[in-house]
Structure formats: C-alpha cells, structure tokens
C-alpha cells in the first residue's frame, strides 16, 4: 500500500466498524500507518448504548456482517499489505486517549492525523434519560475529541504538521429523542471552529464532518420498525439513498481532508454522505428586530413584543419543535 499518506501515522477512534473502519481502511490503502480503536474486543449488535432490541436470526446475521472491532480492522489492513495496530481504549477516559497517542508514537515515532470518529448514543425522551447516559454520550463524542487533541498536539506542533477531524452530526441542530447526542454534536462543531482559530498558522488544521451511511444503525432501525409492524419495504422506500449505501463511498473525502493537499481547509464542517453528496455547513442564519430609541424611551414593552415578535422576529423562523433527520 502506497500513496498520498506515505510516512504518515493516524489514529482513527471508533474504527472497528462502520464509518470509522472505512476511514481507517482508506487511509491505510493510501500508505498511512493506522492505530485502529474501539472500546473493547467484540461488538454489540445494538447501536444505541443501553439498547436491547430482540433481533431475529436473519437480522443478527446481517448485523454480524457489518460489525467488528479494532483487531478485526487492523487484521484486514495488514492482510492487504498495510500497517496497523489495534488499541482498545475508551475515548471518554483521558488516560485511555493518552494510551492511544502513546501507542502510535512508540510504534512509529510520530502522530500526524487524529480522526475522532468514536461516539456513544442513547435514544429516548429527555425525561427518561439517566444521568450516567448523558455523561457517557457527551464524554465519548465531545470530551474524547479534546482529550485526543490534548495528547497529540505536542507532537504535531513539534512537527509543524497535523490534521484533526472530528465527527459531529446533523443532530447539532437539535434532534428529538437525542438531547445528549445533539448537545455533544453541537459542542464538537463549536469546538472545531475554536481549535482551528487557535492553531491557525501552525501547520495543523481542524475540521469536522457529519456522516450518513449504511451501518449497524440502519439494521437497528429496520428491526425497530419491524417490531412496530412497519414493513422493511416501506422503510427502504422512505430512506435517503445514503442510508442504504455502505460507508466506503464517503471515506475518500474525509481522508482527503487529512492530507497535505487540504492545508487550506480549516474550521469547516462538512456534510458527507455515502451516496456521493458533499456539502459545507455555513453558520446559522440570524433573524433580528431592533428598536433604536431604547436608550431614550426605555426597554421593550410587552405590548410591543406581542406584536413584533410574532409578526417580524419569528415570521421566517422554522418551528423549534420540527423534527430533524439524523445524519
């Protein structure tokens, strides 16, 4: 394996399966040495932490074809002629993130690329959400991204080179039933922009991506709808094409962001879908009203607000309770 990333070393968290595995494989196929990772050996068929779907035998078989762990991904890379080492570590723990960075440096003497792809999820009404699950979801996605940066940054600064990719989600807009995941996704996006500005001019860039592809979550969704007596054909018909397409199609763009050629891209969030769709997320649109005489005539009155908020400020704003599709 040789190519765009010859001599480079990457850590891809959450790379035992799905999007993370596709990224790790793509990097390795183009010459990168890769530390593969997930929390522990083996893989749960349930994509949501704390989930307990009663899968049918056929559903289990399909899930077993797409799940894996750090060792299985590393073994596949090595079998194809690449270099990889598996490291089991929970990115929600700072000491485990240090373990990942130390493993890369001890094996290959450097760290060039961090892809913070790992994430935990929990689904349900916020009124039913256990405190410990909120902590797990936020820590794995948001805290973990910072911990990895913290331990890798000294090596990147010494090299005057580094690429940091963080996984966010379209849930950053606020997704019904996923308050913790949405909070973490929004935090990742804001943190990415801040990191990019802090590190501008150092040779280190930081960007993030919102992925959409067919992974074990697709099969979990099919099983959930099956339990609710919704036919699989109906789910297939209503789902976007990317959710029915394996993550291999989106990996090249994410890997491109990790390359030397992408040095001009910094502080950007991309929507990356497995069916070939690419988009840039811009900052949120602001709607406003103003009253320039407030210093002379006093603050807003409720009578003014009753009229102007409804007829002007909120006129073009989409409802806050509108459900947003998870990417």
Residues serving a catalytic function are: 181
Residues facing residue 37 across a β-bridge: 87
- Return the axis-axis angle of helices 179-198 and 131-138, rounded to nearest 10°: 30
Residues facing residue 280 across a β-bridge: 270
Measure the CA–CA gap between 307 and 305, rounded to whole angstroms: 5
Q: Is 114 helix (H, G, I), strand (E, B) or coil?
A: strand
Q: Is 182 helix (H, G, I), strand (E, B) or coil?
A: helix
Positions of E strands within the chain:
9-12, 33-38, 84-88, 113-116, 162-167, 204-212, 269-273, 278-281
């Amino acid at each position: 394996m040789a190519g765009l990333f010859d001599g480079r070393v990457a850590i891809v968290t959450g790379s035992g399966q799905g999007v993370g595995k596709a990224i790790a494989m793509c990097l390795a196929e183009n010459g990168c040495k890769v530390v593969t990772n997930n929390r522990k050996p083996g893989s749960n068929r349930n994509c949501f932490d704390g989930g307990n779907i009663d899968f049918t035998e056929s559903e289990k078989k399909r899930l077993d074809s797409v799940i894996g762990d750090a060792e299985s991904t590393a073994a596949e890379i090595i079998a194809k002629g690449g270099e990889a080492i598996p490291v089991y570590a929970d990115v929600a723990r700072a000491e485990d993130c240090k373990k990942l960075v130390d493993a890369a440096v001890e094996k290959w003497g450097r760290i060039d690329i961090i892809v913070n792809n790992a994430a935990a999820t929990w689904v349900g009404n916020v009124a039913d959400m256990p405190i410990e699950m909120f902590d797990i979801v936020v820590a794995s996605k948001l805290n973990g991204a910072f911990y990895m940066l913290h331990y890798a940054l000294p090596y990147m600064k010494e090299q005057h080179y580094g690429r940091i990719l963080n996984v966010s989600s379209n849930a950053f807009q606020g997704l019904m039933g996923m308050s913790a995941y949405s909070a973490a996704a929004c935090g990742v996006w804001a943190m990415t922009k801040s990191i990019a500005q802090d590190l501008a001019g150092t040779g280190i860039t930081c960007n993030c991506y919102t992925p959409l592809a067919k992974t074990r979550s697709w099969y979990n969704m099919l099983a959930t709808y099956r339990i609710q007596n919704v036919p699989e054909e109906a789910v297939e018909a209503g789902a976007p094409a990317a959710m029915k397409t394996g993550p291999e199609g989106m990996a090249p763009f994410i890997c491109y962001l990790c390359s030397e050629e992408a040095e001009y891209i910094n502080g950007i969030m991309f929507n990356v879908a497995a069916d070939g769709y690419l988009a840039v997320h811009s900052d949120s649109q602001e709607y406003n009203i103003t009253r320039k005489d407030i210093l002379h005539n006093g603050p807003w009155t409720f009578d003014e607000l009753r009229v102007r908020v409804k007829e002007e400020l909120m006129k073009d704003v989409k409802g806050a309770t509108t459900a947003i599709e998870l990417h």
